[in-house]
Amino acid sequence: MSGNTARIQAIQDISKRTPYQTSMPEPLSKIWASDVFNLVKMEEALSKNAYKSMKNAVETGAPLEPAVADVVAAAMKEWAIGKGVKFFSHIFYPMTNVTAEKHDGFIATKPGGNAISEFTGSLLIKGEPDGSSFPNGSLRMTNAARGYTAWDPTSPAYIMQTDNGATLMIPSVFMSWTGEALDKKIPLLRSNSAMNKAAQKVLSLMGETEISNVSSSCGAEQEYFLIDTHFANARPDLLLAGRTLFGAAPAKGQQFDDHYFGAIPARVQVFMQDFEDKLYKLGIPAKTHHNEVAPGQFEIAPYFESANVAADHQQLMMTIMQSTAKKHGFHCLLHEKPFAGLNGSGKHVNWSIGNTTQGNLLDPGNTPDKNLNFMLFCGAVIRGVHLYGPLLRAVIASASNDHRLGANEAPPAILSVYLGDQLEGVFNDIKDGKVTASIDGGDMDLGLSQILSFKRDPGDRNRTSPFAFTGNRFEFRAVGSSQSVSGPLVAMNTMLADSLNWIADKLKVELDAGKNLADGVLSVLKEIMSLHGNVIFGGDGYSPEWHKMAVEERGLKNIPTTADALLALREESVIDLFKNTGVLSPVELESRFEVYSEQYILSIGVEADLVVDLATTRIYPASMKYLSELSETTTSMADLKIKLGGAIIEALASETDNMMAAVKKLKEAKAKHDFDSAEAHMKYCADTIRALMDEVRTHADMLESIVADDLWPLPKYQEMLFIK
C-alpha cells in the first residue's frame, strides 16, 4: 500500500525545516513602549499647556480643545516620521471580535508637483470608513453608508512594525452618521463613565471627601494552541473554522497531567521571547507565560491596566500572536475548542475597580468585615451577577465557546459567584443579622526548617466557578479565548453601575432615617443577601448535584447554547439596564442581537459545509481506496473475510456507508431556509445541524482508526499536538 497525502507531505516537510533565527533580545529598559506615543513622550514633545490637557484627558476623561488636537497631531506626526512611518490608520473595533483599519498617507501634493507630509488635528480626530459594510444589525442600510472613526485620546497611539513597513495606529471609536455605536469601544467607555458616576455617589454617602475618577481595570489571561503550519495548511477545517471537525483521540493526550507547567519546548520558547519583545515595544505588560493543561496549549497573562487600554491591548496581542507564530512556522489557534476531548482555551478576565484616592475598591484588606467600602462594592457585584446572570452568559456566547462551557476545563453555563470561605462567612453572618470577626487563613508551616513559613490566604480558589473572587478582584472565567474582552467588561461595568445606584438610594434612606453609617451599610448588605445570596456558591460547579440545585432550588438559569443565551439581549430588564445607564440605546442593543445571532448562524453554516466537503472529498475517497487495495490482495470476498476475520472489511464498509448517510442528512438539513425568526434559525442550528455534524464525525473518526495510516488524508491529533 502507498499514499501521498497532504498529511504525509506535511510530516516530511516538518522534518526538513530550519529553526527560525532571532536576534539576541534587547534589555527591557531599552525596548519598553519604544513604539508608543504615551504621556512620557508627549511631555517631551508638547507644550506645557498641551501636555497638561492631554494628561487630564487620559487620567480623568476631561475634554480636549481642538487647538490641543492640532498640537498633538503635529508632534505625533514628527515622532512617527522620525521612526520611518509614512502612513497612519484609525484602528477600530467593529462587532466582529477582530480589528479594522484603513491606512492613509501623510502625503499631500502642492502646485508644481511637490509633495509634503501633512497631518492636522482634524485628520487626527476624525476618519471615515464605510458604515454599512461592517456588522451593524440594521443600523445602516447599504445605501446609507457613511460612518466615522474618532480618536480616543485615552488609549495611546503606537507604531505597528511589519516586514512591509511601519504604520502609525490611532485607537478610535466607530459610529454611524446618525450617531449610533457600531463598535465595542464606545459602549465600554460609556459603561466606565456610568460606573464612575454611580461609584462616586456611594463613596460620597460613605463620607469620602476626596474622590478621584473611579475606573475599571482588566488583566486577561490568554490561552492558545500552537501547531506546525504544515499541519494547519493540510487541515481546511483549522484554516476556515479554527477547529478540527474530525479527529480521533490519540493514545496519549493530557491524561498524565505532564504538560501543565512543564518545560516549554525550545521552539515555542523562541516564539514566546520574540512575541513578548514585540509586546514590550508596544507597552503591553506581558507578565507570565507557561504550558497549559493540553499538549500544544499555552498561556500568556499581562499585568492589570485600565479597562479601555487593556481591551485595545488584548486585540493587539491576538493580532501579534498570530503574525509572530506564522514567522516561526506555527499556526496559532485561538478557537475555544480546537481539539475534541482536550482542554479548550479561555480568556479569564480579571476585573477590578478603583481610583487614586480610595485605591482598589475590591481589595478586602486583612479585616474585610470592617472594610465598609469593600463590603458595599462586593455586595454590588453579588447583586449584579444574580440579576444579570443571563446577560453575562450572553456576552460570552459564540458558536465556538459553546463547545467549551460546561466541559471539564470550563465553568458551567450557570452564573454563580465564588467568594471563598472568609468572605462567604462574612456575608452569611450579615444575612443572619450578626457581625463576627472574619477568619484568618493562618500560617503555612511544613515543618521544614529550610522552607520559610508564610501567611496562607483566607480562602481557597475555585476553578469550577464562572465568576470567582480571587483576593482583590473578580475573575470572569467563562470568557472565550477568541473573544474581545470589551463585551464582558461592558456587562460587568454596567451591572455594577446599576447595583451601585440601587445601593446609593437604599443607603441614603437609611442615613436619612438617623442610622449611623455602619448600621446603614449592614442594613443594605442584609437586604442584598436576602434577595441575591442564592447566587453565591463555593462547591464543585461541574457536579450534577449543583446543576440541579442551582435551577430547582435557587432559581438560577442553566443556559447551554448561544441560541438560548442571546435571547437575554431582548429581555426588558436588560434593555432597561442599558437604557437607564446610557450605555446602549434599545436600538443599539437590538443591533447587537442581530449581529451576534447572524454570526452564530454563519459559523455553524461554515462548519457544516466543511464537514460535508471533507467527508465527501477526502475521507470517503481514502476509505474506498483502502477497501480497493484490500480487495486486490485476495481473489474473492470470501478469501478476504477468511484472512481478516471479516472484522476490518465489514467495519470499513459499514462506517463508510453510515458516514455518507449522515452526510446526506446533513446536506438536506442545511438546505432548509424557511425560518420565521433569527431565534428559530439559531435553535435549528444548535439542535439539528450540530447534532448531524457530530453524527458524521463519529463515523469519520472510527474510519481513522481503520484506514491504513499512509492513506489517511488529514493530519492526526497525535501529530499536530506532539510534533513541534
Burial (0-12, 13-18, 19+ Cβ within 10 Å), 436: exposed
pLDDT at residue 633 greater than cutoff 70: no
- Contact between 199 and 214 under an 8 Å Cβ cutoff? The reply is yes
Instruction: Identify the residue with better confidence: 81 or 61.
Output: 81
More confident site: 548 or 111: 548
Q: Which grid coordinates are listed for 707?
A: 484506514
Q: What is the mean pLDDT of residues 538-567?
A: 93
Burial, 29: exposed, middle or buried (Cβ in 10 Å; 0-12, 13-18, 19+)?
Answer: exposed
**pLDDT value of position 156:** 95
Which tens digit of pLDDT belongs to each residue from 281-312? 999 999 999 889 899 999 999 999 999 999 99
pLDDT of 634: 55
Q: What is the pLDDT of residue 637?
A: 54
Residue 643's pLDDT is 55
Please give the grid coordinates belonging to residue 484: 474581545
The alpha carbon dihedral of 575, 580, 585, 586 has a sign of positive
Confidence of residue 570 (pLDDT cuts 50, 70, 90): very high
Q: What is the mean pLDDT of residues 178-187?
A: 93
pLDDT in tens, 46-58: 999 999 999 999 8
Q: Give the tens place of pLDDT for each residue, 664-682.
A: 999 999 999 899 999 999 9
Cell 432615617, residue located: 513
**Residue reference for cell 472574619:** 438
CA 435 to chain centre: 39
Looking at residue 2, its pLDDT comes to: 44
pLDDT exceeds cutoff 50 at 454: no
| Number of helices and strands in the chain (H, E) | 25, 21
Q: What are the residue boundaries of the structural domains of the chain, listed by start?
A: 32-183
Residue 645 has pLDDT above 60, yes or no: no
Determine the average pLDDT of the residues in 46-75: 90
Residue type (1 letter), 445 = D
Question: Distance of alpha carbon 704 from its chain centroid, rounded?
Answer: 33
Per-chain mean pLDDT for the chain? 89
**Coil vs helix vs strand at 469:** strand
pLDDT attached to residue 437: 61
Cα–Cα nearest to 584, from 220, 95, 60, 203 = 95
User: Residue 236 corresponds to which cell in the numbers above?
Assistant: 481546511
Mean per-residue pLDDT, 403-428: 85
Q: Rg for the chain (alpha carbons), in Å?
A: 28
Helix axes 647-670, 620-632, angle to 10 degrees: 160
Q: Is 329 left (phi over 0), alpha (psi -120 to 50) or beta?
A: left
pLDDT value for 435: 67
How far apart CA 539 and CA 204 sit, in angstroms, is 37
Q: Is the pLDDT of residue 583 over 70?
A: yes
End-to-end CA distance of the chain: 28
DSSP state of 535: G
Lowest mean pLDDT among 36-45, 257-266, 338-347: 257-266
Strands 417-418 and 467-469: parallel
DSSP assignment of 621-677: HHHHHHHHHHHHTSSSHHHHHHHHTTHHHHHHHHHHHHHHHHHHHHHHHHT----SS
Partners of 217 in beta bridges:
306, 352
HEC-encoded secondary structure of 382-425: HHHHHHHHHHHHHCCCCCCHHHCCCCCCCCCCECCEECCHHHHH
Contact by Cβ (8 Å): 97, 401: no
Calculate mean pLDDT across residues 510-532: 94
- Give percent of the chain above pLDDT 70: 90
Phi, psi of 30, rounded to the nearest 5 degrees = -85, -35
At 451, the pLDDT band (50, 70, 90 cuts) reads very low
Q: What pLDDT does residue 446 have?
A: 47
Shortest CA distance to 276 belongs to which of 329, 235, 324? 324
Answering whether pTM is above 0.95, one says no
Mean pLDDT of the region 324-340: 95
Residue 541, C-alpha cell as written in the block: 460547579
pLDDT band with cut points at 50, 70 and 90 for residue 13: confident
- Residue 646: the pLDDT is 62
pLDDT of residue 723: 78
CA dist., res. 323 & res. 162, Å (int): 9
pLDDT > 70? residue 548: yes
Q: Is the pLDDT of residue 115 over 70?
A: no
The superfamily (CATH) of domain 32-183 is Glutamine synthetase, N-terminal domain (3.10.20.70)
Residue 1's pLDDT is what?
39
Block residue for cell numbers 501579534: 320
Other CB atoms within 10 A of residue 365 CB: 13
- Is-contact 189 196, C-beta < 8 A? no
